[in-house]
Amino acid sequence: GENVEQHPSTLSVQEGDSAVIKCTYSDSASNYFPWYKQELGKRPQLIIDIRSNVGEKKDQRIAVTLNKTAKHFSLHITETQPEDSAVYFCAARYREYGNKLVFGAGTILRVKS
């Protein structure tokens, strides 16, 4: 089946601290894992993605790690800033269903200044 679980549902951190959001997926055939950031009332915006042939990817303050054996992947944000406050969604691509993305339930990140 297709399922993506995301934890935690809410996360509050102090400005400058790190934030980690974790997701697990059910289908071992999944090979692409994007992360989207969504501000209130706005569109989901792709912030980073990782493919199954890579274990880690970094882009400035954002990094994603993938453990294919355990079927989980994580988003790491370092040196958080107030503008990082948003809802973050992980997703997994299920190839046998076309190019379908199955999303996690989302994590509300609050960065307190």
Q: Which of 89, 107, 109, 111 binds other proteins (CB under 8 A)?
A: 89
Per-residue tokens: 97: 């269903």
Q: Which are the contacts of 69, defined by CB distance < 8 A and separation ≥ 6? A: none
Q: Which of 14, 53, 60, 99 binds other proteins (CB under 8 A)?
A: 99
CB 87 within 8 A of CB 37: yes
Q: Which stretch binds other proteins (CB under 8 A): 14-22, 38-46, 61-69, 70-78?
A: 38-46
Give, as ranges, the residues between 6 and 35 that touch other proteins (CB under 8 A). Answer: 32, 34
Q: Which of 12, 18, 28, 45 binds other proteins (CB under 8 A)?
A: 45
- Rounded-to-integer distance, Cα 76 and Cα 56, Å: 11
